[in-house]
Amino acid sequence: MTRAVRFHQHGGPEVLRIETVDVAPPARGEVQIRIRALGLNRAEALLRRGTYIETAKFPSGLGLEAAGIVEAVGDDQTGFMPGDNVSIVPPLSMVRWPAHAELANFPAGIVVRHPPALGFEAAAAVWMQYLTAYGALVDVSGLSRGEVVAITAASSSVGLAAIQIANRIGAIPIALTRTSAKRRALLEAGAAHVVPSGEADIGARLAEIAGANGVRVVFDAVGGPAFEPLTAAMSPGGILIEYGGLSAEPTPFPLPNVLSKSLTLRGYLVHEIIRDPVRLARAKAFILDGVSDGALKPIIARTFRFEEIVEAHRFLESNTQFGKIVVTI
């Protein structure tokens, strides 16, 4: 028996409960982890509210990120031993493999033995943000040294990961955020420039910063009316990677900009990296190297106790955090 976070109906954070559940021994191909820390993501709030790409089956667990200690391994597993410190790459289904629990089984292919210097809290904050940003900027866009990249929702964990990855490559990250309140924090986090989208002309400011070359890569989590000025500032042949939809307003298709510049507007989910073993191996190597050399360092906004999971979700939905929310067990 173990404690797990579950919900029996869609709704706000208040529907979450900590319940006692049975946990089976790890099956073939699985590793059982005694969890010490959890990373929170907007995807969990969407599943809880019934608006995620996956459908909950009640009573439903949730959670995509965890770090802890190997408790047991399936009969066919030789790569891990009880006592190993590990973290997990987000599973393809958090309904099938929910991470928000004290003890849980996961496919061995998504379990990673992380660097010894990385504590459980930081390890629980690594994979979703860096895999998402790596997949878009490196794997899909081929961002290179000296190129300008515009990053919206820059104070989110994925936005901050994108800033760090851009800097590790030698690219020039421009952070877009709603107001100038987080300007100093974003500059300290590595942004070369900060553009407050609610206070400035986005297109004009991006064009001023990027100069004649324009912005080849845009990494966007928002959508909405900003598509027009964002694409107006892009260079011919540029690519806009859309990985979210935070705006409640309609997203226009910027036809004149797309046609005149031969732009690519591409939807992106981190699952396309996770389900491809070759691409995932490259991503893990890049991220582990970056963590080891200090170029990639998770920024944790706030830490909650497991018993405070409802408060943690409320903070997640406040949109005031700067970086990752972590829950410890």
pLDDT at 67: 97
Instruction: Please give the torsion angle defined by the CA atoms of residues 251, 255, 257 and 260, in that order, rounded to the nearest 10 degrees.
Output: 160
Q: How many domains is the chain partitioned into structurally?
A: 2
- Both 91 and 20 in a single domain? yes
- Both 220 and 246 in a single domain? yes
Q: Does 116 score more than 80 pLDDT?
A: no
pLDDT at 227: 93
- Both 241 and 324 in a single domain? no
Residue 233 lies in a domain: yes
Question: Which pair of tokens denotes residue 239?
Answer: 């690519």
CATH number of the domain bearing residue 232: 3.40.50.720
pLDDT at 250: 92
Phi, psi of 309 (to 5 degrees): -60, -35
- Both 136 and 94 in a single domain? no
- Both 143 and 172 in a single domain? yes
Residue 284 lies in a domain: no
What pLDDT digit, counting tens, does each position of 288-314 carry? 999 999 999 999 999 999 999 999 999
Residue 292 lies in a domain: no
Q: Are strands 234-242 and 264-267 parallel, antiparallel or unpaired?
A: parallel
The whole domain housing 65 covers 2-126+298-328
CA distance 157 to 163: 10
What pLDDT digit, counting tens, does each position of 73-82 carry? 998 877 899 9
Q: Edge-to-edge strands of the sheet including 16-21?
A: 16-21, 2-7, 60-61
Radius of gyration, CA atoms only, the chain: 20
